[in-house]
Every structure is written in C-alpha cells, then in structure tokens.
Amino acid sequence: MTIRDGALVDLLIDFSGRTVLVLGDLMLDQWVYGQVDRVSAEAPIPVLRIAPERQRWTLGGACNVAENVAALGARAMLIGVVGTDAAAAQMLALTKPFAADLIAAPGRWTTVKTRYIAHGQQLLRADQESTEPLDAVAAAGVLDAYRRRLPAADIVILSDYAKGVLCDAVLAEAIAAARAAGIPVVVDPKRVDFAAYRGVTVLKPNRLEVRRATGIDCVDDETAEAAGRLVLEAVEAQAVLLTRGEQGLSVIPAGGAALHLPTRARRVFDVSGAGDTTIAAFAVTLAGGAGLADAARLANTAAGLVVGKPGTASVSRDELAQALHDDDLLATDRKIASLAPALARIGAWRAQGLKIGFTNGCFDLIHPGHVALLSRARALCDRLVVGLNTDASIQRLKGPERPISGEGARATVMASISYVDLVVPFAEDTPMRLIEAIRPDVLIKGADYTVDQVVGADLVQSYGGRVALVPLEAGQSTTGTIARIRAAEGRG
C-alpha cells in the first residue's frame, strides 16, 4: 500500500494501533557532569569534580529504538539481555513503559556507556560491556520470549550493536520465525558479512557499514545505489535503506528505482542515536500501511529532528507532525513548475511505476466544484498533474475582464490542494502541448464534456491511455459566482 506524500501527517494517527517488537543489544547511557579546576599532580590529566545532582541515565541501543517507537505513539515490545549487576536494576526501571523481557545472564555485564562531561564537552567515555555471543541458556531465554511476543507484533526490528545478543543462533531463528509468521523484519546491522541477515525485509546499514561490506564508498547517489544493489544480492531483502549522514539517505528496492533523499537536519547538535530514530520511524510507518518511499521520507524527517537534540534522544509524534506540516507549506511552491522540470519529476514518478493523471482548466476563483473534480481525478491515478491557463490565455478565451484572480495566486491555491501533485502553467489556448509532452496515463475532464470534445483524447487513447469524464457538482461555477457578486454590488 502506498500512501500519498501529502497524507504523511494523517498517517501519524494510525501509529497508536501498531505494535513493534524490538530485539537486540540493550544499553544504558550514563551522563556524569562536573567541573575541571585543576590538573592532577599524579599525571598530566584534568581532575573532574563531580556534581552529585548532575548525573542522569538514558536508554541506548535497542532500548533507544523502543523509546523512539513509543514516542511516535506505537506500542513497543522489547527483548534483550542484562547482567546481574546494579545497572540491570536501572535498566529495569527505565524500560517499565515498554512490554520488556530483560533476560538475566550471569557472568555478563549490562552494557553501560559512561560519559564524563565538563564545560559542555566530553572528557572521557568509559564502556562496561560484554561482547561474546550468548551462551545456550541465555539464547534459549531470548528466543522463548521472542516467540511468545511475536504473534502480537506488526513488525520486528533487530537492533544489532555487536554486543552478542544477535548471535548466529538467535539471529537465524528470529528471522525465520518472523518470515514464517508473515511479519516484516527490519535490521540495523553491525556485522561485516551482511549474508548473516539473509531473508530480512529491509536492511538499514549506514555508509561506513556498506563500505566495509562491499568495498564501495557511497560518495554520491550513483555509488550509493551500486552498493545497495550488491547488498540486496547478498541479503535477498526487499529493500536496502542506506543512511548516508550529511548526504541524507537512499532507499534501494529490489524491484524498482532507487529514491535518494537529502538530509533534513536544520542544525546538528549530536548525531548519537540518529540511526535508532531512523529505523524506529521507518518501521512504525511501514507498520502503519505506508510504502517504502513514504516510510523513508518520514524517517528522514525524524532523523533531521533528532540530531538537533543533545545525546541519545527521541522524536515525538507531535514534533514529527509539526515538521511534516511545515514541509507541506514549503512544498506548495515546489509543486509549481514549468514544463521542463515538470517532465523530470514526472519521469521519476514513472520510474517508480506510478500512474500519471492530467487535467486542466482556468480555475479562476476556485470553488467546491473544482475541489470535488480534483478529488475524483486524484482517485483515478497515483500522481495528478494540473495544466493551468495563464492570464493571457484566459483573456483570449474569456475576455479582458478575466481572470478575476491572477495566475500566481491561482497556481498557489491550486498547489495547496492535497489532491494536486504538480501544477504546470501554459500560455496556449489549449493544453495540447502539455499532453503531448507528458503523455498521461489518464486524461480527466468534467462530465460536461464528451470524449470527442476533450483536447488530446485521440492522442491519449492511441497509446493505450484512458480518458475519464468525472461528475461535476451542480450549481458550482466561476461565472455564476461572478454574476452573484455583481448583482450584490448592484443592489448595494
């Protein structure tokens, strides 16, 4: 199922009914703040005087993925391993908002990354962790919890940080069980050999991980796609979601054209945990019914927000909705294009297998009848292109007193309508030049026309396209509206 670009904000309301199962390496981030006033007499190192009230704990790794899932309004189930140490109790307390199964493994550490900070910068990071593969008892405990939780999941995220939880036995069984149940699996990998993740639905490596696995440095869209295709061969996945840092991200599907999205970051404060936010938003959106492209767009927006926050952080549904709303306002201008850039955009849509619809008109004083026509037209295609008569064209057709609204205003209003994907002004008396260039799959006009009266109908039908006549709203016309306004002015 593919959701329209303009419907991404509406898609957010569906997250509350979705459940995401996260399995992987659990981590705690400890932040210790203090002040440095002197250098040690014992060694040439700064002495950090710790402020007792300035210590905090946050969730990292797979825990941060689950936290991002929950922040977006979906239900998070979390499975992982902890030690039998004091940090395990802290982990238990912080994961209570999730349906969490924390499997205790004697002899292992609970993974903790402790950062010592003074004057706004890190002085030192100390890691407490176990990285060896799980023993048979711990692995069995993880898989028992996974099988118990799996039937309730809409999608699975495997968060691999190379801390041993997703060892060979656990990884292979987790993928196989989800596939047998028909549940999509999205993986954030850490292994150099991606073949270990064979059979997943989507693999989400970053640029460095892809370079290690394929030998290709993703310096541009072309090399990113080439590397992604190699990964697809190794993993036999439906798609690769490649995060490329400041270059944004790329989604490379097995059976279609790649999509490359520039970074959405307005400012970068801290990139810690950005990958967790990306995979959480991507998976939740897929579970909500979106296609790969729209899930990638939403994940890209979420990542752009989270890097503007300090430390490992999450993005709430409200923050994401506001960002998408702001993007819709900015996107209005991007919907208006002359023919050459419009053809480039239409070509990209066609490469994704999308059906192109076309309609045209003056749309002077847009009224509910116009909106109804556009709604019905959009239902017949995946992308709707509207040819808009310029002012000079309308004056020739309707007389010197028209249009009432200038072409700039008409184009802006038309582009703000969610059913419309592209607005292309034309100065000729008919849209024939646009139709010849665009070659729409569906040519749409109101039912006040007959097929033989529709400009371009013969051409569209000649290459197998369709001409559709849609019903009009009774009593709605610009001419009638103008007449009523003038009558009211006369009475006045």
Q: How far apart are CA 350 and CA 345, in angstroms?
A: 9
* Euclidean distance between CA atoms 388 and 376, whole angstroms: 18
Burial class of residue 288 in the structure, from the number of CB atoms within 10 Å of its CB (0-12 exposed, 13-18 middle, 19+ buried)? buried
- C-alpha distance across the termini of the chain, in Å: 54
Buried b (16+ CB within 10 A) or exposed e, 407-432: beebbbbbbbbbbbbbbbbbeeeebe
Q: What is the DSSP letter of 451?
A: G
* Coarse DSSP helix, strand, coil percentages of the chain, rounded to the nearest 5 percent: 45, 25, 35
From the list 25, 188, 276, 294, the catalytic residue is: 276
Q: What angle do CA 47, 49, 51 make, to 5 degrees?
A: 155
Asked whether 200 and 186 are in contact (CB, 8 A), the reply is yes
Nearest of 383, 382, 391, 370 to residue 445 by alpha carbon: 370
Report the candidate in 151, 185, 209, 199 with the shortest Cα–Cα distance to residue 22.
185
What does the alpha-carbon distance between residue 194 and residue 50 come to, in Å, rounded to a whole number?
43
Is there a contact between 472 and 447 (Cβ–Cβ < 8 Å)?
yes
> In 362-440, which ranges are continuous DSSP H helix?
368-378, 391-398, 407-415, 432-438
- Bridge-based pairing state of the strands 112-118 and 26-39: parallel
Structure tokens at 383: 């992308």
- By C-alpha distance, which of 219, 216, 206 is closest to 276? 206
Residue 276 annotated to the active site: yes
**CB atoms inside a 10 Å sphere around CB 331:** 14
Q: By the 8 A CB rule, do 389 and 352 touch?
A: no
* 148, amino acid identity: R
CB atoms closer than 10 angstroms to residue 491: 6
Q: What gap in Å lies between CA 109 and CA 132, rounded to an integer?
A: 11
Q: Give the CA dihedral 163, 165, 166, 167, nearest 10 degrees.
A: 90
Active site residues: 276
